[in-house]
Amino acid sequence: QQQVKQSPQSLIVQKGGISIINCAYENTAFDYFPWYQQFPGKGPALLIAIRPDVSEKKEGRFTISFNKSAKQFSLHIMDSQPGDSATYFCAASYAGKSTFGDGTTLTVKP
């Protein structure tokens, strides 16, 4: 049973556009929701994270929107750049246990 569902699987955006990736979770015990960025040959690295007592968090061009009642959260990348081309993973965790989405491959066209 997959506890975190991520969509879309792949995304192509023009430079300067907005990239949106969505995730849905099932377990209401999750209390930490990070997004990770992974480049080929590298380990995942934290992009931005949110806790369920907050509905939105913004850091530079990256924004997380969190809807606790719908059990959904999303990543918005504003002014997408070719350097943002990578695989993005959402995750949900509590008490050391973490579940990741299957990932979204983002390609930003110049």
Partner 1 sequence: EAQVTQNPRYLITVTGKKLTVTCSQNMNHEYMSWYRQDPGLGLRQIYYSMNVEVTDKGDVPEGYKVSRKEKRNFPLILESPSPNQTSLYFCASSHPQETQYFGPGTRLLVL
Binding mask 35-54 for partner 1 (x = CB under 8 A): -x-----xxxxx--x-x---
Residues 87-106 that bind partner 1 (CB under 8 A): 89, 91, 93, 95-103
24 binds partner 1 (CB under 8 A): no
Which 3-state string (H, E, C) describes the chain?
CCCEEEECCEEEEECCCCEEEEEEECCCCCCEEEEEEECCCCCCEEEEEECCCCCEEEECCEEEEEECCCCEEEEEECCCCHHHCEEEEEEEEECCEEEECCCEEEEEEC
In the complex with partner 1, the residue whose CB is nearer, 17 or 107, is 107
Binding site for partner 1 (CB under 8 A): 6, 31-32, 34, 36, 42-46, 49, 51, 89, 91, 93, 95-103
